[in-house]
């Protein structure tokens, strides 16, 4: 899963990015509100961590712009503000949740998982094919009950392939088949959300499942 972190304090941005990456997330980072809408329009994010106090356009303004652009990506606001009125202002601007600094990494991850969980619906929480199961919330993959260790990119690729299997089983329309052909070319597999994987990545992924 891919997260956009919008934070101008280098120490906090580095801390948050590292925590997310260690837990299997892909992270894009920007330190200014002016770039956010452009990034979100160009890429497919599963969540946005948005600091309120940004230089230039603040987090409240940025959140309003995101929602005005009809972008429904979950937004978790990070702020040092503790007043209820200020938190309400952010929620009214379109934020889905608030986290006050300083915060524990465990709470940040739990709130982010909750936001992503609400939005994730294609294929449900667990994606299955034969004896392979992928738990999207726990970020855990098993085959016949045996845990398979994957990198973040391998997990993302397997998740996409399993979602394609789900789409095929759930639809008999030509549109679904056309979409799959469009995303799988001779050289690349495209998720349609700004991610591309070389086709050579599939054999490498399959070797992970060899006993």
Domain boundaries, the chain: 2-119, 126-207
Side-chain-side CA neighbours of 167 within 13 Å: the count stands at 16
Residue-level pLDDT at 163: 73
* Residue 136: DSSP 8-state: T
Residue-level pLDDT at 119: 64
Angle, nearest 10°, between helix axes 174-183 and 152-170?
Answer: 160
**So what's the architecture of 126-207 in CATH?**
Orthogonal Bundle (1.10)
Q: What is the pTM of this model?
A: 0.60
Element (H, E) at 169: helix 152-170
Element (H, E) at 174: helix 174-183
Separation of alpha carbons 30 and 40, rounded Å: 11
**So what's the architecture of 2-119 in CATH?**
3-Layer(aba) Sandwich (3.40)
Q: What are phi and psi of 43, to 5 degrees?
A: -125, 165
- Specify the residue for token string 């970020």: 139
Residue-level pLDDT at 85: 74
Answer whether 188's CB lies under 8 Å from 197's CB: yes
Tens digit of each residue's pLDDT, the chain (211 residues): 789 999 999 999 999 999 999 988 889 999 988 889 888 887 778 899 999 988 888 999 999 998 888 787 899 999 876 677 777 888 899 999 999 888 999 999 999 988 877 765 545 678 888 888 888 767 889 988 999 998 877 887 887 787 776 655 544 444 434 444 444 444 455 554 445 566 677 788 888 887 5
126-207 shares the fold of 2-119: no
Q: What is the DSSP track for 6-66?
A: E-S-HHHHHHHHHHHHHTT-EEEEES-GGGHHHHHHHS--SEEEEESS-SSS-HHHHHHHH
Residue-level pLDDT at 190: 53
Separation of alpha carbons 112 and 156, rounded Å: 17
Query: Which two structure tokens, joined as six digits, stand for 65?
Result: 């712009």
Answer whether 82's CB lies under 8 Å from 102's CB: no
Element (H, E) at 146: strand 146-148
């Amino acid at each position: 899963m891919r997260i956009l972190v919008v934070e101008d304090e280098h120490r906090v941005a580095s801390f948050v990015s590292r925590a997310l990456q260690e837990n299997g997330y892909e992270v894009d980072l920007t330190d200014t509100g002016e770039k956010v809408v452009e990034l979100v329009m160009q890429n497919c994010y599963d969540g946005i961590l948005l600091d309120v106090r940004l230089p230039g356009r603040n987090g409240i303004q940025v959140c309003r712009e995101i929602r005005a652009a009809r972008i429904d990506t979950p937004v978790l606001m990070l702020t040092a503000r503790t007043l209820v009125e200020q938190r309400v202002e952010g929620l009214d601007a379109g934020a889905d949740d608030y986290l006050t600094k300083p915060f524990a990494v465990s709470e940040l991850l739990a709130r982010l998982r909750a936001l992503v969980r609400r939005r994730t619906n294609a294929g449900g929480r667990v994606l299955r094919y034969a004896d392979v199961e992928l738990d999207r919330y726990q970020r855990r993959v098993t085959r016949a009950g045996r845990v398979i260790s994957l990198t973040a990119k391998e997990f993302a690729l397997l998740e996409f392939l399993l979602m394609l299997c789900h789409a095929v089983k759930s639809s008999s329309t030509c549109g679904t088949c056309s979409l799959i052909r469009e995303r799988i070319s001779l050289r690349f597999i495209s998720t349609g959300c700004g991610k591309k994987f070389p086709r050579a990545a599939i054999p490498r992924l399959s070797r992970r499942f060899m006993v």
